[in-house]
Amino acid sequence: MTSLASAGEYDLVIEKKAINLTGRDRAATTINGSVPGPVLRFREGEDVTIRVTNRLDEPTSIHWHGIILPANMDGVPGISFGGIAPGATFTYRFPVKQSGTYWYHSHSELQEQAGMYAPIIIEPTQHEPYRYDREHVVMLSDWTDEDPHTVFAKLKKQNGYYNFQKRTALDFFRDVAEKGWGATISDRLEWGRMRMDPTDIADVTGYTYTFLVNGKPPKANWTALFKKGERVRLRFINGSAMTYFDVRIPGLEMTVVQADGQDVQPVAVDEFRIAVAETYDVIVEPKEDRAYTIFAETMDRSGYARGTLAPRQGMSADIPPLRPRPLLTMADMGMSHSTMSGSPAESMPAMDHGAMMDGQGGGMQGMAYAAAAADKANDMTAMMHGPNEHGPSTDMIAMMPTNRLNEPGNGLEDTGRRVLVYTDLRNVRPGYDLRPPSREIELHLTGNMKRFIWSVDGKKSSEAEPIRLRYGERVRFTLVNDTMMNHPLHLHGVFSELDNGAGAYKPRKHVINVKPAERLSFEVTTDALGEWAFHCHLLYHMEAGMFRKFVVAKDIAASS
């Protein structure tokens, strides 16, 4: 990756260019001719001017992810501004009020998947609370030779189109040998009743994706240099459209010193999961004159990105084998299995995947969400879902979301490694606003996997009213994931202080990952006037409707 000088003024050009990552030339959407685009290096306290010229035949935009700036500079078409028309130049101007590791990317349709993303490094005005001798940016991403619009169309037609890891007859007989005939049949019936598959962990997998480190596929062996005994800072950025990575460097302990650009109290780990759009800065101290593999394995174990940390170019180390694919369990999904009687539920059909995650307002948005809606309406029929081919049944699968912040995530349990969890994160300084929240807003993450519709509170973005907030108020948001998938949620314009048990030292994040069947909370001080985006950072989920607009204003009555 190239790096532009920290002069306070920058020029970026967006255009199509052929690149070859898989043995075939494919058109990419590039920033200054490269994927990723150039590293932008700012300095805390400076004013930056960035001129962006669009040489595409369609509108474009750039969003400065995690950067605190005026709303009209945030770069979200239809909310922040009108976008950058073909042939036009738009000038972004904003003061730099922070330091740390961030990134920038297109917020127009699916251009981010086509290569339009790059790092931002902001140097602090004061000394950081940790020491290092050199640093490297490690930007992880996913690339497909397919047109992103084709990928999205295939997901809409068949949600499991890219899942080639579904269980087979061989898996069935292996389970029978391990668990017995009855337990295996019962397990298959439960998953079949929900029309779900326990291998549905990622929508788009390594069977179509190539995974990159700083734009290089695994065989290219991107290399970061060090001298033995140096303390090396690695700035990890997950610039993927859809991929979570489990990151480790065999033979090296990593000390996490920053999360989402914010300094945290150091945490020593062997591995961490980085959600889409998150950043983690770690410090490693190689004591041997040898190469180490930077190994970023996908959450569903369908592939990996790989780089090398070495004292000299041309070196490499062993690449670990992919671990067995994880399987979702009923416990992972917060499910309880019960039989109800003496209530309208006696005629309720077995809950299928579409019912559990219906993205349409009239359907079921997960049992917890539907129960709340029914209570408000004082009408249990609000929980009813129309008959399906399974017919009526008193057998019901209920999702019970719980706090899972201290869990490493599916596939990382019992590894024998120290795996980073959200409860490990503590800010180095107490929060700047210690007022208790004046109110709470609960939002449910919902969807319909069968139709690949994703939503908030059962409504796609096109159907929902903005969430209105009063300038200067302190608000507690509670997110409830009523779906079977992880969702990385990003609220623009402010930092979200995750309620992870750290008290006044809550970590400040710009992306919060919400696990399947998880309920968590974060607090926000609404000190950013204007209109802002709130969305799942899985690109195709956002495109499919998991997106809301927030409005922060002085002269409107705040309401949820």
d(CA 307, CA 547): 34
Residues ≥6 apart with Cβ < 8 Å to 60: 14, 29, 52, 54, 83, 84, 106, 108, 111, 116
Region 509-520: mean pLDDT is 97
- For residues 339 and 136, which has the higher predicted lDDT (pLDDT)? 136
What's the pLDDT band for 8 if we cut at 50, 70, 90?
A: confident
Residue 555, burial from CB neighbour count under 10 angstroms (0-12, 13-18, 19+): exposed
Q: Quick one: pLDDT at residue 176?
A: 52
Q: Quick one: pLDDT at residue 555?
A: 82
d(CA 70, CA 92): 10
- For residues 360 and 136, which has the higher predicted lDDT (pLDDT)? 136
What's the pLDDT band for 441 if we cut at 50, 70, 90?
A: very high
Nearest to 459 by CA among 382, 548, 397, 531: 548
Per-residue pLDDT tens for 34-60?
999 999 999 999 999 999 999 999 999
Per-residue pLDDT tens for 468-509?
999 999 999 999 999 989 999 999 999 999 999 999 999 999
Taken in order of first residue, the domains within the chain and their CATH numbers are 3-127 (2.60.40.420), 128-163+199-327 (2.60.40.420), 427-553 (2.60.40.420)
Per-residue pLDDT tens for 370-426?
444 334 333 322 322 333 322 333 333 456 889 999 999 999 998 899 999 999 999
d(CA 21, CA 27): 11
Residues ≥6 apart with Cβ < 8 Å to 12: 31, 32, 37, 38, 50, 51, 52, 53, 62
Q: Quick one: pLDDT at residue 358?
A: 41
d(CA 311, CA 415): 29
pTM of this structure: 0.86
Q: Which of 17-21, 250-254, 450-454 has the lowest mean pLDDT?
A: 450-454
d(CA 505, CA 432): 10
Nearest-10 Cα torsion for 154, 159, 165, 169: -120
The top-scoring range by mean pLDDT among 164-173, 522-531, 551-560 is 522-531
- For residues 179 and 187, which has the higher predicted lDDT (pLDDT)? 179
d(CA 310, CA 227): 8
**Spatial contact of 307 and 221, defined as CB atoms under 8 Å apart:** yes
**Spatial contact of 2 and 38, defined as CB atoms under 8 Å apart:** yes
What's the pLDDT band for 205 if we cut at 50, 70, 90?
A: very high
d(CA 112, CA 117): 6
What's the pLDDT band for 432 if we cut at 50, 70, 90?
A: confident
Per-residue pLDDT tens for 467-477?
999 999 999 99
For residue 445, what is the enclosing H or E element?
strand 439-448
What helix, strand, coil percent values describe the chain, rounded to 5?
15, 40, 50
- Within 10 angstroms of residue 164's Cβ, the number of other Cβ atoms is 12
d(CA 290, CA 286): 8
d(CA 150, CA 147): 5
Q: Quick one: pLDDT at residue 1?
A: 72
Over pLDDT 90: what percentage of the chain? 73
Q: Which of 7-11, 171-175, 230-234, 439-443 has the lowest mean pLDDT?
A: 171-175
d(CA 282, CA 234): 5
- For residues 206 and 68, which has the higher predicted lDDT (pLDDT)? 68
Per-residue pLDDT tens for 109-168?
999 999 999 999 999 999 999 999 999 999 999 999 999 999 999 999 876 667 656 545
Region 260-265: mean pLDDT is 98
**Spatial contact of 56 and 86, defined as CB atoms under 8 Å apart:** yes
d(CA 78, CA 75): 9
Check pLDDT > 90 for residue 548: yes
d(CA 395, CA 173): 26
Joined tokens for residue 169: 């007859």
Region 268-297: mean pLDDT is 98
Check pLDDT > 70 for residue 345: no
For residue 505, what are the CA distances in angstroms to 79, 405, 426, 451?
Answer: 32, 16, 5, 41
Sheet holding 453-456, edge to edge: 453-456, 439-448, 474-481, 519-525, 496-498, 508-509
| Residue type for position 372 | A
For the chain, what is the radius of gyration of the CA atoms?
23
Region 337-363: mean pLDDT is 35
Q: Quick one: pLDDT at residue 190?
A: 56
Q: Which of 81-95, 142-156, 196-210, 415-429 has the lowest mean pLDDT?
A: 196-210
Q: Quick one: pLDDT at residue 192?
A: 53
Over pLDDT 70: what percentage of the chain? 79
d(CA 487, CA 445): 8
Is omega for the bond preceding 36 within 30 degrees of 0, making it cis? Answer: yes
Q: How many residues does the chain have?
A: 560
d(CA 265, CA 419): 16
**Spatial contact of 65 and 532, defined as CB atoms under 8 Å apart:** no
Check pLDDT > 90 for residue 364: no
What's the pLDDT band for 339 if we cut at 50, 70, 90?
A: very low
What's the pLDDT band for 180 if we cut at 50, 70, 90?
A: confident
Q: Quick one: pLDDT at residue 456?
A: 97
**Spatial contact of 553 and 470, defined as CB atoms under 8 Å apart:** yes
For residue 272, what is the enclosing H or E element?
strand 272-274
Q: Quick one: pLDDT at residue 341?
A: 35
Q: Quick one: pLDDT at residue 557?
A: 59
**Spatial contact of 94 and 100, defined as CB atoms under 8 Å apart:** no
Q: Quick one: pLDDT at residue 422?
A: 98
